[in-house]
Amino acid sequence: MIFARSESDVAVVLGPGGPVGTAWLLGLAAGLRREGADLARADLLVGTSAGAIAGAAVAIGRDLEALVDLPPVRPGERAGDLTVMPRVLEILNMPGVDRREALRQVGALAREADALPEERHLAAMEHLVGTHTWPDTPLLVTAVDTDSGEPVVWNRDSGVPLHAAVASSSAAPGYAAPITIGGRRYMDGGLGAGSNVHLADGAGTLILIEPIGHLFPAAPIEADVRVTPDPAALEAFGPDLADRSRWAQVHKAGQRQSTDIADRIRSLLPQRWT
C-alpha cells in the first residue's frame, strides 16, 4: 500500500521494542509534549508494535504521564512461551529464505504458541490507548497476516477499531496470541519490515524513534533525527524487553532523555494554531 506524501510533510516513525520499549516511547513522548514538542503535530505518525501503542496514545492526546504505571498483572498470569521468539529469529534469518514463506512459518508458530489470549491483549491495549476511535491525526499501524505472511497497514479508513489494530501490531509470537480481525489473524508488524520506515516515503522531514535502534547502529536510514535509547535508558531497559517490572523506571528514563532532543524535534514539527 502506498500513501502519497508531500515534501512539506513531517513524518514521525515509531519502531518496535516490546513492553520495555513501549514504556520508553511513552515516557519520551510525554517529556517532548511537556517541552512543547508534541509528536501529534506531525503530518503523519507511523507506528509498529511498541510504536503502534505509543503512536496511538500520542495521536489521540492521551495523558502520557499517567501511563507511568501499568495495571497489575493477574495472579498466575504467565509471560508467554519464551521459546518461540528464538525460533522466529532462526526462521527469519535462514540464508536464502523467501520472506513471505518465512513469515507464514512464523505465523504458524504464533497461532500455536501458548501465549496471552486475544481478549487479554485486547484489554491491555484498550487500557493503554484509551479508545476504539481513530484520531484525526494521520496514523498508520502495521501488522502481518499470519496465514499469507503479507504485511498490512491499518488506518482510520480500514474499519478496524483502533485498539484492535494496535493489538494486532503488538502481538509478538509467543507473547500474545494473534488478533482476529475480519476472520483473519494478525501478528506483530515489526516482523514484516522492522520500523516500516518506507511508509513515510515522500515526506520531506523524517523523525525516526527506535527503542531497539541501538541494536542496528549502522542501519542505512536517512532521517533528519534518529533517536535511540541513551546509555542511562539502556541501563533501565535491562536485558529483557518483555520485563514489565521495569516499566515505570524506563518510562521515567524516556522522560529524562526527552530534554536532550526537545529543541531539535520542536524545530522540525509543524506549527498547529488553535
First vs last Cα of the chain: how many Å apart? 32
d(CA 228, CA 234): 9
- 203-to-46, 106, 107 alpha-carbon distances in Å: 12, 32, 32
Task: Indicate which residue of 43, 170, 188, 195 is catalytic.
Answer: 188
Report whether 53 contacts 22 (CB < 8 A): yes
Determine whether 188 is an active site residue. Answer: yes
Of 9, 38, 43, 49, catalytic = 49
Q: Report the alpha-carbon distance of residue 106 to residue 185 in Å, rounded.
A: 12
**Minimal CA–CA distance to 190: which of 68, 46, 82, 31?**
46
49 is a catalytic site residue? yes
Q: What is the rounded distance in angstroms from the CA atom of residue 204 to the CA atom of residue 232?
A: 31
User: Which residues does the annotation mark as catalytic?
Assistant: 49, 188
